[in-house]
Amino acid sequence: MNPAGEREQFVALYGRHGAAVLAYARRRVGSDEAEDVLAETFLVAWRRRREVPGDALPWLYAVAGNVVRNRLRAERRRGALQARMVGVAASAVVEEEDPDPKLGEALAQLKAIDREALLLTAWEDLAPDRAARAAGCSRATFHVRLHRARNRLAQALAQIEEQR
């Protein structure tokens, strides 16, 4: 089949089943991620367009189910990795920089963006202008981030101290 004919068939496939696949995705991942699932599903359908059966909707549901499961697995892995990174970063800073375990606890309470700003300057020993490049932002933005992160770290340390 010529490329124009394949495109037309694919557009028709999307027109017939796009809304149903979107509804399927919304029921499984919510409205926020449903359109991403729809896009990934039809990307797979485009790549495998010669394998799409005549009764395409069940096949599309199967593909969408796989996309949802892959996204959920990736999210679990990402969450586990972030938890490990927080623990490793906090414990490594405590081991290398300060024998006070309160520092590690306070760092673990910070948002990742705050922790990264602090660690780039304190642990990696980067000047703020170089840390800004590593963080992918302007120097001015990084200076604001670093200032806020230092304040949040001080607040977290004060709260930990009050609890003890």
Q: How confident is the model at residue 8 (pLDDT cuts 50, 70, 90)?
A: very high
pLDDT tens track for 112-164 = 889 888 888 887 778 888 888 888 889 999 999 999 999 999 999 899 888 87
Q: Which residues contact 102 (CB under 8 A, 6 or more apart)?
A: 157, 160, 161
CATH number of the domain at 100-163, please? 1.10.10.10
Average pLDDT, the chain: 84
Least confident of 11-25, 44-58, 80-94, 140-154: 80-94
Burial of 157 (0-12, 13-18, 19+ CB in 10 A): middle
Mean pLDDT of 63-83: 80
Please tell me the class of the 3-77 domain. mainly alpha
Q: What whole-number distance in Å separates Cα of residue 100 and Cα of residue 102?
A: 5
Mean pLDDT score, 49-58 = 90
Tell me the C-alpha distance between 150 and 128, whole Å: 13
Per-residue pLDDT, 124: 78
Give the pLDDT confidence score for residue 81 in this predicted structure.
63
140/146 Cα distance (integer angstroms):
10
Q: What is the pLDDT of residue 87?
A: 59
**Among the residues of the chain, which ranges form H helices?**
3-29, 31-47, 56-97, 101-109, 112-122, 128-135, 139-163
Domain-by-domain residue ranges, the chain? 3-77, 100-163
CA–CA gap between residue 161 and residue 158 (Å, rounded): 5
Distance of CA 92 to the CA centre of its chain: 24
Total Cβ atoms within 10 A of residue 155: 13
pLDDT recorded at residue 25? 92
| CA–CA separation, 49 and 33 (whole Å) | 24
Q: By the 8 A CB rule, do 135 and 120 touch?
A: yes
